[in-house]
């Protein structure tokens, strides 16, 4: 989806805060939110890594940004737990108000609703029988597509022409796996784009490398007479 | 009784405590297990792992060759594996080629070798600008690269995780693997900084310029 998470190339953020000395967790709640989220993925909810990333993308843009990385991890955990019917919608807020001393009735437990999915193997890498469609050195175009669901094809490369530099290990297609529509393992390619192809002739000179799944790519020139 | 409240007007600390309280009450989460997760990532899995990989690559050419050929297997030789380390690819910086790693879509990062990502890596400004104006971004971080240096930016959009093998600094030729480890920073292994020789070791290098 074309959401707030797809930040590559956006302007107006200013300087990035740079502190090489910071600890892993700057506050106690960050560590708790992180740990709860890791447990909420497979073990508690039956969700997968791609569904987890998509849960982040589904957050309202203001919520995505409000409490930084671990703030959105907390909301990601809550989303996955709610999606799978482990906790009720609104349960966290009700409990928080109760902890604060408010007189609140907590919502009843929902019906468990875990995805009907068992991974065919550990992690994300899977073999693909067919040979890769593209070869190293070949030109490819990132498709100009705008799926409403999860995708790992960012806006800033869509429609742009690059060169295949590496054949990466084949892996589950996030676009289908996130929605439990099948693991759909595909070849994945390391593709290089010139900065001027992405940002125009005045761009800083550099090369952008990005990993793109087979179904994100097409031959750059359609067969024309 | 009031309807279910909207999420945003409660402090994040309180909401975290509330979620933990619900899961513990349901018997789904053991607070001691959460403690262990937090301790592991706060203390044990961090950039020291990657620094050991780099120092070994600097001092053992055969290890370096294995690292460049198959990063996942080579870091596993030192005992480093786990979540977000399924396929690790190492990118070697040289005086004329500089690699920079980013994840524009979330904050993918090679946990087994670098630990959890630092704030700057997760910040919208870094995620937005690394793929658009890396030279300007690096200059703000204190790394000025000359026009002769080619920049390659890697956007971590698949399950492949990238780690930078920084240049070994001049003046460290006599140092052992153990002595080199503390020189290697998280920032150098992501490509936003270079490694520096400790004070007093770069004397010859300074005079060479």
In the predicted model, residues of chain A with pLDDT beneath 50 are: 223-224
Whether residues B158 and A171 touch (CB distance < 8 A) is answered with yes
For residues A122 and A119, give the distance between their C-alpha atoms in angstroms, rounded to a whole number: 7
Q: Residue B199: which pLDDT band, with cuts at 50, 70 and 90?
A: confident
Q: Tens digits of per-residue pLDDT, A6-51?
A: 999 999 999 999 988 889 999 999 999 999 999 888 889 999 999 9
For residues B178, B179, B180 and B183, what is the CA-based torsion angle, rounded to 10 degrees?
Answer: 120
Looking at per-residue confidence, does A160 or B203 come out higher? Answer: A160
Q: Is B77 left (phi over 0), alpha (psi -120 to 50) or beta?
A: alpha
Q: What is the pLDDT of residue B202?
A: 56
- Of B114, B105, B95, nearest to B166 (Cα)? B95
Q: Taking the CB of residue A26, how many other CB atoms lie within 10 A of it?
A: 13
**CB-CB under 8 Å, B105 with A53:** yes
**Predicted local confidence at residue B208, as pLDDT:** 41
Does the beta-carbon distance from B125 to A90 stay under 8 Å?
A: no
Residue A80 sits at the chain B interface (C-beta within 8 Å): no
Of A72, A70, A74, A24, nearest to B17 by C-alpha is A74
pLDDT digits (tens, 9 = 90+) for B32-42: 999 999 999 99
**Optimal mutation site among B1, B22, B30, interface A, most CBs of chain A within 10 A:** B22
| Smallest CA–CA distance from A199 into chain B, residue | B132
CB count within 10 Å of CB A195 equals 22
**Integer Cα distance of A164 and A156 in angstroms:** 17
How far CA B114 is from CA of A72, B41, B118, B199, in Å, comes to 21, 10, 10, 25
Report the percentage of chain B scoring pLDDT > 70: 92
Indicate the Cα dihedral angle B109, B159, B133, A149, nearest 10°. Answer: -110
Which of A136-162 are b and which e, b meaning 16 or more Cβ less than 10 Å from the residue's Cβ? Answer: eebebbbeeeeeeebbbbbbbbbebeb
Interface test with B, best of A3, A5, A18 (most B CBs within 10 A): A18
Mean pLDDT, range B67-90, rounded to an integer? 96
Option in B7, B20, B124 nearest A36 (CB): B20
Give the model confidence (pLDDT) of B37-69 as tens digits: 999 999 999 999 999 999 999 999 999 999 999
Q: How many CB pairs under 8 A join A and B?
A: 254
């Amino acid at each position: 989806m074309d959401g707030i998470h797809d930040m590559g190339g956006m302007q107006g953020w200013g300087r990035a805060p740079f502190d090489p000395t910071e600890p892993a967790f700057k506050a106690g709640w960050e560590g708790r939110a992180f740990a709860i989220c890791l447990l909420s993925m497979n073990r508690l909810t039956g969700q997968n890594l791609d569904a987890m990333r998509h849960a982040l993308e589904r957050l309202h843009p203001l919520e995505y940004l409000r409490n930084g990385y671990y703030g959105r991890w907390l909301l990601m955990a809550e989303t996955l737990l709610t999606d799978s019917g482990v906790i009720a919608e609104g349960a966290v807020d009700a409990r928080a108000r109760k902890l604060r001393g408010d007189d609140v009735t907590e919502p009843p437990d929902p019906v468990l609703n875990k995805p009907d999915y068992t991974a065919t193997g550990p992690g994300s890498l899977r073999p693909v029988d067919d040979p890769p469609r593209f070869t190293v050195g070949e030109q490819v175009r990132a498709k100009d597509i705008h799926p409403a669901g999860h995708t790992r094809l960012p806006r800033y490369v869509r429609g742009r022409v690059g060169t295949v530099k590496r054949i990466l290990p084949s892996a589950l297609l996030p676009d289908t796996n996130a929605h439990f529509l099948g693991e759909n393992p595909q070849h994945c390619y390391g593709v290089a784009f010139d900065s001027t192809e992405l940002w125009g002739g005045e761009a800083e000179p550099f090369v952008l490398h990005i990993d793109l799944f087979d179904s994100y790519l097409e031959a750059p020139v359609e067969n024309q007479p | 009784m009031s309807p279910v409240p909207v999420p945003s007007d409660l402090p994040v600390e309180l909401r975290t405590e509330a979620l933990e309280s619900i899961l513990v009450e349901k018997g789904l989460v053991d607070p001691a297990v959460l403690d262990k997760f937090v301790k592991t990532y706060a203390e044990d899995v961090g950039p020291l792992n990657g620094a050991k990989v780099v120092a070994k690559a600097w001092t053992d050419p055969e290890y370096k060759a294995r690292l460049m050929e198959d990063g996942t297997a080579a870091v596993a030789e030192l005992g480093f594996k786990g979540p977000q380390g399924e396929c690790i690819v190492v990118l070697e910086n040289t005086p004329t080629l500089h690699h920079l790693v980013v994840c524009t879509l979330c904050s993918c990062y090679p946990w087994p070798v670098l630990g959890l990502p630092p704030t700057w890596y997760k910040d919208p400004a870094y995620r937005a600008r690394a793929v658009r104006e890396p030279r300007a971004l690096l200059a703000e971080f204190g790394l000025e690269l000359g026009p002769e240096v080619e920049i390659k930016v890697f956007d971590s959009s698949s399950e492949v995780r990238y780690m930078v093998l920084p240049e070994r600094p001049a003046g460290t030729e006599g140092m052992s693997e153990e002595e080199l480890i503390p020189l290697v920073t998280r920032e150098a292994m992501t490509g936003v900084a270079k490694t520096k020789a400790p004070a007093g070791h770069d004397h010859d290098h300074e005079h060479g310029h």
